């Protein structure tokens, strides 16, 4: 399924809504969006993954990149991820570095 | 064995996952093992495409061989890139996986997910080809 991403930046919160499948091709698009906000005063990154059906390690690498690029104070919220994506986050230990929520604001 | 070719570019990954989905359906795999197999094949194919073909400037296809045999779905990725054994790479250990995002290195997660997601994974180099083999057990219904 074709990947799509929508972004909204408001009050130091960057919200991205991801649709489709996040692989090493679409991760480039995602990373470009992160690069655009890297120099802005963002304190929370909100990723709505309800419509994301697949995420490979290329997607995980963008999460790692976000934190390293934007800064250690960045909070990452993952909204309504599908069960199999939560599995990937858990297996790789990344669930400790993000907050999984049903909605944002929490 | 059934065989299908894909061009060695990242644009093939979408179609590759769809094909793995079809094979899994034929084998009667449940949703979770289907996803794990798609993820494993995607990760290895990505390495073949980016590091086996694109980096040295090789334009070539890779093959997906498959068969359903003895309650197992066997999928083999075959490529003509330089020999590369994914199992020879050091995987993140338990301690690496507890590191915060700031402290993480970005390598090794794909192969970790591959090995972790399938029932058997093996690699061999024979007849000038890398062969990455994935085996999923088909649960009795």
The confidence score (pLDDT) of residue A46 equals 98
Binary contact (B109, A92; C-beta < 8 A) = yes
What's the confidence (pLDDT) of residue B102? Answer: 72
CB pairs under 8 A between A and B: 76
Domain assignment present for residue A38? The answer is yes
Among B50, B92, B109, whose Cβ lies nearest the Cβ of A24?
B50
CATH code, A28: 3.30.750.24
The answer to whether B58 touches B81, Cβ cutoff 8 Å, is yes
For B24-61, write each residue's pLDDT tens digit. Answer: 999 999 999 999 999 999 999 999 999 999 999 999 99
N- to C-terminal Cα distance for chain A?
29
For residue B110, the domain's CATH number is: 3.30.565.10
Number of domains into which chain B is organized: 1
pLDDT in tens, A66-100: 999 998 889 999 999 999 999 999 999 999 999 99
**Residue whose entry in the numeric block shows the structure tokens 């986050």:** A89
Q: What's the domain range around A61?
A: 4-101
Pairwise CB contact (< 8 Å): B46 & A61: no
pLDDT of residue B101: 75
Domain range for B66: 2-137
Residue carrying structure tokens 């930046």: A9
Verify whether the Cβ–Cβ distance B43 to A56 is below 8 Å: yes
Distance CA B56, CA A104 (A): 45
- Summarize pLDDT for A14-49 with one digit per residue, the tens: 999 999 999 999 999 999 999 999 989 999 999 999
What's the pLDDT band for B22 if we cut at 50, 70, 90?
A: very high
What is the arithmetic mean of pLDDT over B105-124?
90
| Chain B nearest-CA residue for A76 | B101
Q: Which of A63, A92, A65, A82 is nearest to B110 (CA)?
A: A92
Helices B13-27 and B31-47: angle between axes, nearest 10 degrees? 140
Cβ neighbors of B75 (< 8 A, separation 6 or more) are B20, B23, B37, B41, B64, B65, B66, B133, B134, B135, B136
Whether A106 is covered by a domain: the verdict is: no
- Taking CB atoms and an 8 Å limit, are A68 and B50 in contact across chains? no
Say yes or no to pLDDT of B105 above 90.
no
Q: Which chain A positions have a beta carbon within 8 Å of B116's beta carbon? A: 91
């Amino acid at each position: 399924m074709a990947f799509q991403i929508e972004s909204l930046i408001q009050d130091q919160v960057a919200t991205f809504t991801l649709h489709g499948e996040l692989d090493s091709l679409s991760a480039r698009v995602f990373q470009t969006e992160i690069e655009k906000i890297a120099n802005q005063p963002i304190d929370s990154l909100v990723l709505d993954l309800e419509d994301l059906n697949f995420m490979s390690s290329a997607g995980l690498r963008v999460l790692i990149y976000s934190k390293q690029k934007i800064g250690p104070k960045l909070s990452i919220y993952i909204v309504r991820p599908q069960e199999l994506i939560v599995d990937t986050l858990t297996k790789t230990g990344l669930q400790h570095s993000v907050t999984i929520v049903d909605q944002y604001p929490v | 064995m059934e065989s299908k070719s894909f061009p060695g570019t990242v644009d093939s990954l979408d179609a590759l996952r769809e094909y793995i989905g079809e094979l899994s359906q034929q084998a009667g795999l449940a949703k979770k093992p289907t996803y794990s197999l798609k993820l494993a094949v995607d990760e290895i194919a990505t390495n073949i495409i980016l590091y086996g073909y694109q980096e040295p400037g090789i334009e070539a296809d890779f093959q997906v061989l498959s068969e359903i045999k003895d309650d197992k779905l066997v999928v083999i990725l075959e490529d003509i890139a330089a020999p590369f054994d994914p199992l020879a790479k050091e995987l993140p250990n338990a301690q690496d996986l507890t590191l915060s995002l700031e402290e993480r290195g970005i390598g090794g997660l794909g192969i970790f997910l591959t090995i972790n997601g399938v029932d058997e994974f093996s690699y061999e180099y024979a007849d000038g080809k890398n062969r990455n083999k994935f085996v999923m057990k088909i649960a009795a219904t």
